[in-house]
Chain A
Amino acid sequence: MLARLQVDLDPATPVAALSATRRAEVAIARALREHTPGSGLIILDEATRALPREELERFHALLRRVVAEGTSVLMVSHNLEEVRTLADRVTVLRDGTVAGAGLPTAELTEQDMARLMLGRTVGTLRPRGVDAAGRPAVATVTGLTGDGLEVAGPGGVSLEVREGEVVGLTGLPGSGFEAIPYLITGARRATGGTLRTASGELRLDRATVAQCMAAGVALVPERRERDGLAFELSIRDNIALPSVRRRGRPYFVGRRWQDAQADDLIGRLAIRTRTAATLVKELSGGNQQKVLFAKWLSLRPRLLVLHEATQAVDVGARQDLLNEIHEVADEGTGVLYVSGEPSDLADVCDRILVHRPGRPFAELRDVTADAVLDAIYAGMTTAGGIQCGTQ
């Protein structure tokens, strides 16, 4: 079966050891097992969400082969670019109603689809044009080393985020830059390095999450279901969690501030829910992500570290989130935006650091998606097989 799909894999390999792309391929192979080639329908629900950009092409090629055999594919996706390039026809849903059915994608632009989805035109983010060079740093990381983070020599990674600045951090998928948000917030123990903020210096090889929080550092992790929110609890409980110790007395946590805080943030981020008592699992992905953002925003951090903050959210929510990041920065918070998504980075960041294994960061001040992609892949001289996902 794997051979038929031209997937080059040893069938005895445990699935857990595979990359996200490989797992997706195995899932398709499984779906096709009982199925006569050239007939039937495969339904993919956000199948490409977990795939790194440069592997998307491979996966798309696989789907095209399946379609060429005569099988139909129904793909559910938030990625408008993917819908436009891969699908023949698209049906757009909005608020539980069909906003456009069976539209040929050849005649649509991503803007058109976004307009159908939202019922309004997607605004473009205004460029902030902030140059924070002269401002004081809210957080300085020096000499960071840790598991999975490839660094040059003994020096480790160093970076600095200034007041009111949005700094992007990106790199080749798997090169270890994804570990940085966890290593500098105490979520994962580093092997070395320090974090200096206004409240002093922390050794990252022994800092706890609580210490980093006390220093004004907040982390919005990538996997919201696993690491970000308790899905079985309410919006209000989730948002209040980081502040219960700070705002409640040891023997009494009031309810009123929790409700007020939740209602305030629900309004500010335009979270679509009837009450703050709604369970997080009942919300859409975009609204869940907003709750996760609200939860850490409620702490008014000095440094807000975000990892893939727009993953699997719709274009409207993405817009709201990126706008809010700008607002937060305008209020003086330093933002470290860690992502592999060039268009997000280009939209939201004032400057972007590109992690290159074995070398210091490349710093981009000209933030366009193309420039980001070029910088990410510029250092790649040895890796021949990987293709660059183009804009």
Chain B
Amino acid sequence: MRDSVSDTSAERLSADGDDTARRPAAGGDPGPRGPAGPAQAPGPGQHGDPRGRVEQNRLHVITSRYALVLVWLAVAVLYYVLMPGTFGSWGAVRSIFGGQPVLVFLAMSALITLMVGEFDLSIAAIMGLAATIVPVLAGLHGVNIWLACVVALAACALVGAVNAFFVVRLDVSSLVVTLGAGTLVTGISQAISSSNVVSVQDRLFRELTGHPVLGMPVSFYYGLALTLGIAYIMGYTPLGRHMLFVGANREVARLAGIRVERIRVGAYIISSLVAGMAGLIIVSTLGGFDSGTAMQYLLPALAAVFLGTAVVHPGRFNPIGTLIAIYFLWTGIFGLQLLGFAGWIQNVFYGAGLVVAVALAKIVRNRSKVT
């Protein structure tokens, strides 16, 4: 088992995005934290405990690491039993996996900043900005649609750079900066669209995401590729290893010669670009966008990222876990909608999902300790 229980302190981040909180509080506590001493040094395994217990432990670790997958399967089976006709159809499978490309991109966008220990609450608004610029330029002003896409992405990268300037250079709390920036950007989107629903018609642009490949819209594969790409970078490149340490302990990263600021700035800009791509996908699939609705995309994305910390690498933000969490949450909602529950179920499910996710990640992490 490669790295059974490594983590980057997901739940600590959920409590505070600000780096002041990661330093040990300078209180009246002169003692060291954590245990020290020969008494606690070895795990029980050092004294030759029965092999069976180690095996049992291992099984235990695997089941807690993939518990969410099991729950997901159980939910799917339950829905199938309840509605064998509708839930069991290929159309339903396609809706579950192919219906959420926007959420996949937005969640990955949130993941990129969270992994390096930053919070970005403006990603939904940035997505909205891209989803507004494209139809406004291409639909209202007749600009070439591909040029419009480039302009939109450039604008997103600019917002990311501004966020990074305030957070990294000026050391302002990332929660405050990105919350403010998110509202500001939403305002700008409303201004350019005059608060109307803007739309654009372009067959090729629609095909870009909607074209079926092996029974799935092609955008499903974009999300999959993005997820696997991030997973590869994090696990197998020096950049990813460095990002991991920047997220885990900035000072340690700095003292290992890593250019911490550059990685943080880069994370903001790349994350904003990915959010912009989510915006392009919205326009491509829906044909238009209402700029006032951007913020409602934020919570599902965050819920998925945090729930993802309960899978694969418990306690660590990770792309595969996030993807699993997205499909898990969406399966639950989709099934309930088929059962006749109205649209409100989405808010209830995602809202509860976020809170349960953080609690669950913590429980799984504690349980999956090998010792």
Q: Do A and B bind each other?
A: yes
Chain A residues within 8 Å of B, Cβ to Cβ? 15-16, 20, 23-24, 26-27, 30, 44-51, 78, 93-96, 117-118, 187, 208-210, 212-213, 219, 221, 225-234, 236-237, 240-242, 244-245, 248, 250-253, 255, 272-275, 277-279, 281-288, 312-314, 316-317
Distance from B147 Cβ to chain A, minimum over Cβ atoms (Å): 32
Distance from A380 Cβ to chain B, minimum over Cβ atoms (Å): 25
Q: How does the 8 Å CB contact mask read for B31-48 relative to A, with 1 for contact and 0 for none? A: 111111111111101110
Distance from A342 Cβ to chain B, minimum over Cβ atoms (Å): 21
Distance from B44 Cβ to chain A, minimum over Cβ atoms (Å): 8
Instruction: Please give, as numbers and ranges, the residues of chain A lying within 8 Å of B6 by CB-CB distance.
Output: 232-234, 237, 277, 279
Apart from A24-B30, A284-B39, A314-B36, what 17 extra A-B contacts exist at CB < 8 Å? A16-B26, A27-B28, A49-B32, A50-B32, A51-B30, A93-B37, A209-B255, A212-B257, A213-B256, A227-B251, A228-B252, A240-B241, A248-B238, A277-B3, A279-B6, A282-B369, A284-B35
Whether B30 lies near A27 (C-beta < 8 A) is yes
Could you list some 25 contacts between A and B, CB below 8 A? A15-B28, A23-B26, A24-B28, A50-B32, A93-B37, A95-B39, A95-B47, A117-B38, A187-B255, A226-B24, A227-B255, A233-B6, A233-B244, A237-B241, A240-B241, A241-B245, A248-B238, A251-B237, A277-B3, A277-B5, A277-B370, A278-B371, A279-B5, A279-B6, A284-B41
> 6 nearest interchain CB pairs?
A285-B36, A210-B257, A93-B39, A27-B28, A230-B248, A24-B30
- Bound together, the chains give a CA A80 to CA B363 distance in angstroms of 38
Whether B252 lies near A230 (C-beta < 8 A) is yes
Given known pairs A209-B256, A241-B256, A250-B237, the reply for A47 and B30 (CB within 8 Å) is: yes
Distance from B369 Cβ to chain A, minimum over Cβ atoms (Å): 7
Partner of A236, one of B3, B36, B256: B3
Q: How does the 8 Å CB contact mask read for B228-258 relative to A, with 1 for contact and 0 for none? A: 0000000011111110110011011111111
Does B29 lie at the interface of the complex (its beta carbon under 8 Å from any beta carbon of A)? yes
Using a CB-CB cutoff of 8 Å, which residues 25-76 of chain B contact chain A?
26-43, 45-47
Residue of B nearest to A276 (CB): B3
- Bound together, the chains give a CA A307 to CA B354 distance in angstroms of 43
Instruction: Please give, as numbers and ranges, the residues of chain B lying within 8 Å of A234 by CB-CB distance.
Output: 3, 6
Does B367 lie at the interface of the complex (its beta carbon under 8 Å from any beta carbon of A)? no
Q: How does the 8 Å CB contact mask read for B255-296 relative to A, with 1 for contact and 0 for none? A: 111110000000000000000000000000000000000000
Whether B45 lies near A274 (C-beta < 8 A) is yes
Partner of B2, one of A255, A279, A317: A255
Instruction: Please give, as numbers and ranges, the residues of chain B lying within 8 Å of A285 by CB-CB distance.
Output: 32, 34-37
Partner of B249, one of A230, A245, A251: A230
Q: How does the 8 Å CB contact mask read for B193-235 relative to A, with 1 for contact and 0 for none? A: 0000000000000000000000000000000000000000000
Residue of A nearest to B259 (CB): A210
Distance from B259 Cβ to chain A, minimum over Cβ atoms (Å): 7
- Bound together, the chains give a CA A202 to CA B348 distance in angstroms of 59
Partner of B236, one of A23, A78, A118, A253: A253
Whether B241 lies near A241 (C-beta < 8 A) is yes
Whether B39 lies near A94 (C-beta < 8 A) is yes
Instruction: Please give, as numbers and ranges, the residues of chain A lying within 8 Å of B241 by CB-CB distance.
Output: 237, 240-241, 244, 248, 253
Instruction: Please give, as numbers and ranges, the residues of chain B lying within 8 Å of A248 by CB-CB distance.
Output: 237-238, 241
- Bound together, the chains give a CA A240 to CA B258 distance in angstroms of 13
- Bound together, the chains give a CA A20 to CA B236 distance in angstroms of 42
Binding site of B, secondary structure by majority: helix, strand, loop or mixed?
A: loop
Whether B236 lies near A225 (C-beta < 8 A) is no
Residue of A nearest to B257 (CB): A210
- Bound together, the chains give a CA A50 to CA B6 distance in angstroms of 29
Residue of B nearest to A117 (CB): B38
Whether A274 lies near B9 (C-beta < 8 A) is no
Distance from A209 Cβ to chain B, minimum over Cβ atoms (Å): 4
Instruction: Please give, as numbers and ranges, the residues of chain A lying within 8 Å of B47 by CB-CB distance.
Output: 95
Whether A226 lies near B36 (C-beta < 8 A) is no
Instruction: Please give, as numbers and ranges, the residues of chain A lying within 8 Å of B2 by CB-CB distance.
Output: 255, 277
Distance from A116 Cβ to chain B, minimum over Cβ atoms (Å): 10
Q: How does the 8 Å CB contact mask read for B281-319 relative to A, with 1 for contact and 0 for none? A: 000000000000000000000000000000000010000
- Bound together, the chains give a CA A31 to CA B252 distance in angstroms of 33
**Interface size on B (CB < 8 Å)?**
56
Instruction: Please give, as numbers and ranges, the residues of chain A lying within 8 Å of B256 by CB-CB distance.
Output: 209, 213, 241-242
Whether B257 lies near A237 (C-beta < 8 A) is no
Distance from A114 Cβ to chain B, minimum over Cβ atoms (Å): 10
Does B141 lie at the interface of the complex (its beta carbon under 8 Å from any beta carbon of A)? no
Partner of A96, one of B1, B39, B315: B39
Instruction: Please give, as numbers and ranges, the residues of chain B lying within 8 Å of A20 by CB-CB distance.
Output: 30
Partner of A272, one of B31, B42, B257, B258: B42
Distance from A270 Cβ to chain B, minimum over Cβ atoms (Å): 10
Instruction: Please give, as numbers and ranges, the residues of chain B lying within 8 Å of A228 by CB-CB distance.
Output: 252, 255
- Bound together, the chains give a CA A237 to CA B316 distance in angstroms of 14
Most buried by A among B4, B41, B253: B41
Residue of B nearest to A45 (CB): B31
Partner of B252, one of A227, A236, A275: A227
Whether A244 lies near B242 (C-beta < 8 A) is yes
Distance from B323 Cβ to chain A, minimum over Cβ atoms (Å): 22
Given known pairs A24-B30, A27-B30, A282-B371, the reply for A226 and B23 (CB within 8 Å) is: yes
Instruction: Please give, as numbers and ranges, the residues of chain B lying within 8 Å of A44 by CB-CB distance.
Output: 31
Instruction: Please give, as numbers and ranges, the residues of chain B lying within 8 Å of A209 by CB-CB distance.
Output: 254-257
Whether A26 lies near B5 (C-beta < 8 A) is no
Instruction: Please give, as numbers and ranges, the residues of chain A lying within 8 Å of B4 by CB-CB distance.
Output: 275, 277
Partner of A284, one of B28, B40, B315: B40
Using a CB-CB cutoff of 8 Å, which residues 13-29 of chain B contact chain A?
23-24, 26-29
Distance from B75 Cβ to chain A, minimum over Cβ atoms (Å): 31
Distance from A94 Cβ to chain B, minimum over Cβ atoms (Å): 6
Partner of B248, one of A26, A232, A242, A278: A232
Whether B252 lies near A96 (C-beta < 8 A) is no
Most buried by A among B38, B43, B248, B369: B38
Whether A95 lies near B42 (C-beta < 8 A) is yes
Whether B33 lies near A233 (C-beta < 8 A) is no
Given known pairs A95-B41, A209-B254, A272-B42, the reply for A244 and B34 (CB within 8 Å) is: no
Instruction: Please give, as numbers and ranges, the residues of chain B lying within 8 Å of A313 by CB-CB distance.
Output: 36
Instruction: Please give, as numbers and ranges, the residues of chain A lying within 8 Å of B252 by CB-CB distance.
Output: 227-230, 241
Whether A219 lies near B37 (C-beta < 8 A) is no
Distance from A119 Cβ to chain B, minimum over Cβ atoms (Å): 9
Partner of A30, one of B28, B248, B371: B28
